[in-house]
Amino acid sequence: MPQALTVLWAVLKSDLSDKDKKATALSLDKVLGLSLDVIYNTVQSIPMSVINIALLRQQTRVNQDWIQSDLLRDKINQLGYLVEDKKGGYILSKK
């Protein structure tokens, strides 16, 4: 699972078009089970920079790096968003 998140992170940071990033992320989601297809409409209103931090945070949680996870949560909060952890993923929302 951590390797799949690493691949997802690399795709999102890549020079691929947004359309290709979306298609690849949704394909990877079938392995990861993050329910990206369910939250896609919500994600459209959240800046990509916040989404990237949330994805990195999810990876740190998988790796059980709780200190880094907390620091990334704080960063998300500073940017005006909340992250709510759910079984198998998280929900991002505007404060």
Domain edges within the chain: 2-94
pLDDT at residue 35, as a whole number: 76
- Indicate the angle between helix axes 18-32 and 2-13, nearest 10 degrees: 170
Per-run averaged pLDDT (10 residues), the chain, 95 residues: 81 89 85 73 74 93 95 97 87 87
pLDDT at residue 42, as a whole number: 55
pLDDT at residue 40, as a whole number: 61
CA distance 87 to 33: 10
Q: Tell whether pTM > 0.75.
A: no
| Buried/exposed code over 33-65 (b: 16+ C-beta within 10 A; e: otherwise) | ebebeebeeebeebeeebbebbbbbbbbbeeee
